[in-house]
């Protein structure tokens, strides 16, 4: 086991109708915790670094290099993914560093501009053997796929994948980013319709707002890659707060950050056991292009 491509994790999950946990990294402790949780669950995992996290670290190389090192030392398959990149230069840097996949987010652009920009990035990444995820926003809209009330049209999703050649598609089915409560209501019928129409794996962003039972239902209806960030940040911060409240004189950051790391590891293990349970008789069994293939069906 060790560092693998994202397609190597997602493709088997798609075939078995199970889910893949994709968790966002902000600090090194997050990466260590996520891998520890995956090892405890005996499951593969995707470590994601967002453009916002890159901005926080004042560059991709410091955090990206550290996360790649954590992945290489793991005892389960671990992929490293660039999340919500809006800049082509950042995508190129991630590819050069050795990331196995990128999520290029041009969803705020009008539809035709999104298609052109995403197709260009996908062609470049595929030439380097890198798996590409994209996001389909509202036609002509500027709020992106997770605007309040946004929903992805299955026919439009299928057309978008055909024209761009991406390997996975993030779709709008009722979630929002940065939710602090797990109260999102998913449109399960829409997920099933998208799974039937779209020939690549579906990605659920904003999954921190989705309760355990709804996560299970989302996977059963056709979601594959499940992105979670805020929920883990809550677990980390709550553990740190408890320690600092209990020990007002504590100044050793290793102690309270260690508590946060342990809390995240436990929650990752729990979530992965939920997500990776197979659903062989799901309601929307449709053929999908292998996510380990590029736009022309070639292995990546």
Please say whether the beta carbons of 280 and 17 come within 8 A. Answer: yes
C-alpha of 281 from chain center = 24
Report the SS3 class of residue 29. helix
Residues marked active site are found at: 83
Q: Is 248 exposed, middle or buried (0-12, 13-18, 19+ CB in 10 A)?
A: exposed
Going by C-alpha positions, the residue among 37, 94, 66, 68 that lies closest to residue 263 is 37
**What DSSP character marks residue 263?**
H
Name residue 3's beta-bridge partners. Answer: 78
Residue labelled with tokens 């088997």:
12
Q: Which ranges of 128-177 does DSSP label H, i.e. alpha helix?
A: 154-164
């Amino acid at each position: 086991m060790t560092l693998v491509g994202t397609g190597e994790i997602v493709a088997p999950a798609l075939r078995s109708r199970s889910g893949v946990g994709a968790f966002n990294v902000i600090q090194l402790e997050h990466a260590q915790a996520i891998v520890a949780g995956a090892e405890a669950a005996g499951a593969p995992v995707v470590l994601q670094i967002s453009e916002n996290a890159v901005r926080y670290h004042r560059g991709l190389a410091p955090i990206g290099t550290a996360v790649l090192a954590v992945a290489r030392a793991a005892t389960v398959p671990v992929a490293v993914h660039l999340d919500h990149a809006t800049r082509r230069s950042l995508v190129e840097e991630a590819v050069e560093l050795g990331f196995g996949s990128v999520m290029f987010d041009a969803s705020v652009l009008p539809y035709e501009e999104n298609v052109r920009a995403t197709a260009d990035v996908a062609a470049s990444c595929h030439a380097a053997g890198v798996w590409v995820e994209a996001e389909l926003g509202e036609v002509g809209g500027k709020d992106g796929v997770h605007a309040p009330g946004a929903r992805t049209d299955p026919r439009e999703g299928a057309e978008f994948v055909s024209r761009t050649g991406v390997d996975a598609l993030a779709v709008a089915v009722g979630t929002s980013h940065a939710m602090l409560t797990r109260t999102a209501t998913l449109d399960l019928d829409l997920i099933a319709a998208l799974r039937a129409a779209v020939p690549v794996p579906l990605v659920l962003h904003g999954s921190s707002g989705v309760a355990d039972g709804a996560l299970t239902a989302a996977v059963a209806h056709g979601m594959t890659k499940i992105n979670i960030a805020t929920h883990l940040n809550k677990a980390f911060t709550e553990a740190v707060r408890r320690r600092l409240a209990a020990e007002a004189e504590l100044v050793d950051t290793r102690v309270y950050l260690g508590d946060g790391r342990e809390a995240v590891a436990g929650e990752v293990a729990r979530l992965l056991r939920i997500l990776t349970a197979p659903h062989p008789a799901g309601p929307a069994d449709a053929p999908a292009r292998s996510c380990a293939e590029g736009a022309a069906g070639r292995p990546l």
